[in-house]
Amino acid sequence: MASERIENLVRQMTLEEKAAQMVQIPYAQTGREESLRWAKMGAGSFLHVLGDDAREVQRAALSSRLGIPVLFGIDAVRGHALNDRATIFPTQLACACAWDREIAKDMGKVTAREVATDGLHWTFSPLLCLSRDARWGRVDETFGEDPYLTGELAAAIIEGYQGGDLASPESIAACAKHFIAYGEATGARDAYDSSVSCRKVREVFLPPFQKAVDAGCATFMTAYGSIDCTPLTADPHMLRDILRDEMGFQGFVVTDWSNVTSLVRNQRVAKDADEASLLAALAGNDMMMNSPEFYESVIRLVKEGKLEEAVLDEAVRHILTVKERMGLFEQPEKTGKPGCIGCEEHQQIALNAARRSITLLKNNGILPLKKVKKIAVIGGNGDDIRAQYGDWTYFTHPEPIPGRQPVRPYTTVREGLEKLAAEKGIACEYAYGCGPVPSEKDDLDAAVKAAEGADAVILVVGDVVSQFGENRDRAELTLSGKQLELFALLRALQIPIVTVLLSSKPLVMGTIPDETDALVAAFNGGAHGGQAVAEALFGLFNPSGRLPISFPRRTGQVPVYYNQLPGWHGGKYCDLPNTPQFVFGEGLSYTDFAYRDLTMDAETLTASVSVQNVGKEAGLETVQVYFRDCVSSVITPVKNLIAFRQVALQPGESQRVTIQLNRSDFSLVNRQEQRVVEEGEFTLMVGRSSRDEDLLMVNFTL
């Protein structure tokens, strides 16, 4: 039920004003004049408009007949990064490596403050799709492959964005996207059909979105794609029955970019804009992003008696209620915290997130670097802020604007290492060698020359923005260009090699995992990613990242997510080991941890385990809790994450970690699509990664 103010407004609104309220206008594509005209007509929202332009649009909206404030949305998905002065965080994938709700929450809080300070209200974040196929172009935007971890981090970042009170000057509205199963598109081709059952959607893909609803997420975004040939934009079962009635979502639903138009142009389930608008409105989309034809169509549909005006009333109520919760009727412009954009305090928070994202995947003892007199830093990604940022920044989305320069502060891996080396009196030489994409700058000989005589080579490999993002799915995940050749040439020098993977996603690394001396996954660490890598290599902090996603050995092995179904007969390849290269939850430390004495009290559902730091450094361990249902009415995954805890331990220190579980943690979705707990025997697994060898196990009966 909407408030009296909203009900009053809805009563006063004309059909045209209601239709306009349901439209979201892209400012840049529409242009200033036309945007101002839309604002005066009562358009509900604009996207991607900053500063004075936004203020001008707002003034126009406030001068319209009812003066309903406009809601400004932006893709501030890793900091307010489309603004070149803002603090640029690691990507969601990199942040997820920290397995830390506080890191996600801090990222949300800083982003909100900076977005609000720019006078804007709403971020199209977080992205809660799961990355179960690394070929997909948008893996970097996700929290990885697991529903539980994704849901936990989602709730935390939403809390950061929205705070306790959406009306606070420093809070902005969050948007859980893309609803739903968008990452599961056939062949990992962006926005293609997802061939999954509704049961599977409920089992795997809904849980993170449910946590977003429970966290009070103000808006949801409809996915581009379709499930079993029904576009999400035209699916009332998903948007109404499931999202609103079952999951209890109370905010408003915005479509993704041109979804209504696409019903005609791409998905061909509507013959024209009128049919598409009818489908979209009936399905339960409240606001249409960049499908301005919806306006005329929906007015016509109501006038011709094809659509009840009550459908518009309902959508408008949802939108206005969010505006009301945000306090926009009293204060249409967010004020944020003047001077905070890109401020030192925020940069430190982003640096901390980058440090916590560093994930050590192999170390034969070369790290942390000690007793070296000369190091060689090699590789295009070692000195390319574009690659380090990843996409959705002012400088990288979708491509750098010609002539635009990156804005400090930022530190590449090369710069970070050079600075620390200089402080320690260590010689440091950089050579480009090659980048992920072949270019005339490639010079492997020069790289080999630079490496000769070094005590350690730091080789930075990965991908660049032209290889990922929307519309950029990859059929081949192997390190591209001459990167593998470069590794082989450097390896032949018999100098220790530390390989740093600076990429948007898991990549296939040829012989590197076997032959490198150390391997660090840094993903896209944002402005301070390079500093974090350098500090980790020199041991200024002890890396504690854990992979939120599994790495395939070869592209043909995908999907390799850990919570797969038990296979038999087939279920494995005859030309490859069945295991991934690196598994979900994996990550080393400069110290070592031992687990013992796992117990599970089946009455109270309390699990306990002792964890000891058995190495020589202080370190942070992520205790991971998985379970398996031993016998179930439908086939259930070999294991599923249900909890994790982090413990900071001094050398020799031991701690008994107790984790309270709930009955619902052990649920499954049965053939009737109900989430139930089937009583019987379960296996509880606790340890340092999702790999069986890393887990203590105990059986218990529910």
- Would you say 327 or 390 has its CB closer to ligand BGC? 390
256 lies in the site for ligand BGC, by CB under 6 A: yes
Out of 75, 100, 159, 473, name the contact with ligand BGC by CB under 6 A. 75
Exposed/middle/buried for residue 103 (C-beta within 10 Å: 0-12, 13-18, 19+): buried
Helix (H) or strand (E) run with residue 655 in it: strand 654-660
Total number of residues shown for the chain:
702
Shortest Å distance, C-beta 580 to ligand BGC: 28
Shortest Å distance, C-beta 82 to ligand BGC: 9
Distance CA 526, CA 530 (A): 8
Shortest Å distance, C-beta 340 to ligand BGC: 24
Strand order in the sheet with 175-179: 175-179, 219-222, 252-255
HSE at residue 651, side-chain half, CA atoms within 13 A, is 6
Shortest Å distance, C-beta 135 to ligand BGC: 17
329 lies in the site for ligand BGC, by CB under 6 A: no
* Lookup: tokens for 265: 């142009």
Shortest Å distance, C-beta 154 to ligand BGC: 15
HEC profile of 256-324: CCCHHHHHHHCCCCCCCHHHHHHHHHHHCCCEEECCCHHHHHHHHHHHCCCCCHHHHHHHHHHHHHHHH
Question: Residue 450 contacts by C-beta under 8 Å, 6 or more apart in sequence?
Answer: 376, 378, 429, 430, 431
Total residues at the site for ligand BGC (CB under 6 A)? 6
Residue linked to tokens 């600076």? 502
Q: Please give the full DSSP string across 192-235, using - where no structure is assigned.
A: PEE---HHHIIIIIHHHHHHHHHTT-SEEEE-SSEETTEEGGG-
Shortest Å distance, C-beta 73 to ligand BGC: 8
3-class DSSP state of 659? strand
Shortest Å distance, C-beta 232 to ligand BGC: 12
- Would you say 392 or 562 has its CB closer to ligand BGC? 392
Contact 505, 463 (CB under 8 A): yes
- Would you say 123 or 640 has its CB closer to ligand BGC? 123
Distance CA 479, CA 433 (A): 14
HEC profile of 427-482: EEEEECCCCCCCCCCCCHHHHHHHHCCCCEEEEEEECCHHHCCCCCCCCCCECCCC
The DSSP output letter for 184 is G
- Would you say 225 or 543 has its CB closer to ligand BGC? 225
Q: How many CB atoms lie within 10 A of CB 163?
A: 18
- Would you say 219 or 352 has its CB closer to ligand BGC? 219
- Would you say 78 or 177 has its CB closer to ligand BGC? 177
- Would you say 262 or 612 has its CB closer to ligand BGC? 262
Binding mask 361-390 for ligand BGC (x = CB under 6 A): ------------------------------
Shortest Å distance, C-beta 221 to ligand BGC: 6
- Would you say 80 or 177 has its CB closer to ligand BGC? 177
Binding mask 566-605 for ligand BGC (x = CB under 6 A): ----------------------------------------
- CA 248-252-256 angle, 5° bins: 115
- Would you say 27 or 124 has its CB closer to ligand BGC? 124
Out of 192, 257, 329, 700, name the contact with ligand BGC by CB under 6 A. 257
Out of 177, 211, 362, 553, name the contact with ligand BGC by CB under 6 A. 177
Distance CA 323, CA 25 (A): 17
Shortest Å distance, C-beta 464 to ligand BGC: 20
- Longest C-alpha distance within the chain, in Å? 81
- Would you say 472 or 675 has its CB closer to ligand BGC? 472
- Would you say 177 or 386 has its CB closer to ligand BGC? 177
- Would you say 177 or 325 has its CB closer to ligand BGC? 177
Phi/psi of residue 596, each to 5°? -155, 165
- Would you say 183 or 435 has its CB closer to ligand BGC? 183
Question: Residue 153 contacts by C-beta under 8 Å, 6 or more apart in sequence?
Answer: 92, 95, 96, 101, 104, 126, 143
Exposed/middle/buried for residue 597 (C-beta within 10 Å: 0-12, 13-18, 19+): exposed
- Would you say 225 or 545 has its CB closer to ligand BGC? 225
Window 184 to 223, contacts with ligand BGC (CB under 6 A): none
Residue nearest to ligand BGC (CB): 124
Shortest Å distance, C-beta 182 to ligand BGC: 8
Shortest Å distance, C-beta 446 to ligand BGC: 40
The DSSP output letter for 23 is E
Bridge-based pairing state of the strands 518-521 and 606-613: unpaired
Window 121 to 150, contacts with ligand BGC (CB under 6 A): 124
* Lookup: tokens for 441: 């700058």
Window 96 to 125, contacts with ligand BGC (CB under 6 A): 124
Distance CA 27, CA 588 (A): 46
Shortest Å distance, C-beta 633 to ligand BGC: 37
Shortest Å distance, C-beta 83 to ligand BGC: 15
Shortest Å distance, C-beta 463 to ligand BGC: 20
- 552 upstream amide cis, omega within 30 of 0: no
- Would you say 41 or 77 has its CB closer to ligand BGC? 77
Distance CA 120, CA 334 (A): 6
Any bridge partners for residue 597, and if so which? none
Shortest Å distance, C-beta 489 to ligand BGC: 40
Window 447 to 476, contacts with ligand BGC (CB under 6 A): 470
The binding site for ligand BGC (CB under 6 A) comprises 75, 124, 177, 256-257, 470
